[in-house]
Amino acid sequence: MLRAIIFDFDGVIADTEPHHYQAFAEVLDGRLTMPTWETYLSEYLGLNDPTFLRRFFEASGDQPDERELASLIRRKDEVYQRNLVDGIPLLPGVEAFVRSMRGRYPLAICSGARRVEIETILRHAGLRDAFEHIVSADEVTRSKPDPAGFLKAFELLRAGRDGLTPSACLAIEDSAHGIVAAKAAGMRVIQVCPHSIGEFAVPADRKVKGVTEVSEMLLAEIMT
């Protein structure tokens, strides 16, 4: 039986992935050529910023020192924050879906984004109060596909809820790394695909184009 829902943020709640990609491209210009959008989606989606940069530099046969890495992350954050000033839209159907689920289940977010990014967009959309807990890159140091973020979100949700188990929690993810993390935490997973992404080695329990396709019947089928 479904008892809680944990959402990824980038690419699930808000259409932020193109903005992250563009911000990285701007700060890496002259240093490294960004992977194609398709490669970014298939190989790097779901990683937090430090992990993405380390893996991308390694794949390029290069390695930044810690000072350069910190500088790149700081500059990328500045570029991305400029985009937040005008607001970043939620993905279609997300607002209605979150509001409908809020009245039935406790909700949390587990994301590799920074807390200020998540909070800013949720407040702009009027949805901050819908989520009991936010586990961001600021709360856990290990990036997806490590399950640390999902396990922390679960522990926060479990407080005061007798008998809540990971198997009673549903994760809503868009990336391969996120699906692996949620599965490792013992949760069922719905994959939403706002962008064209190929099949993953570790599949979700269900794959949908967006949350508008998630019905009570689908939830019941997944959780049985």
Catalytic positions are: 8
* 203 vs 223: CA distance, rounded Å: 16
- φ, ψ of residue 44 in degrees (nearest 5): -120, -10
* Amino acid letter, 40: Y
Per DSSP, the residues of 32-48 read: -PPPPHHHIIIIITT--
Report CA-CA distances (Å) from 112 to 146, 164, 179.
11, 24, 13
**Using an 8 Å Cβ cutoff, are 42 and 201 in contact?**
no
**Using an 8 Å Cβ cutoff, are 114 and 121 in contact?**
no
Write down how long the chain is: 224
Q: Given the structure tokens 């508008």, which residue do they identify?
A: 212
Describe the chain by its helix, strand, coil percentages, rounded to 5. 50, 10, 40
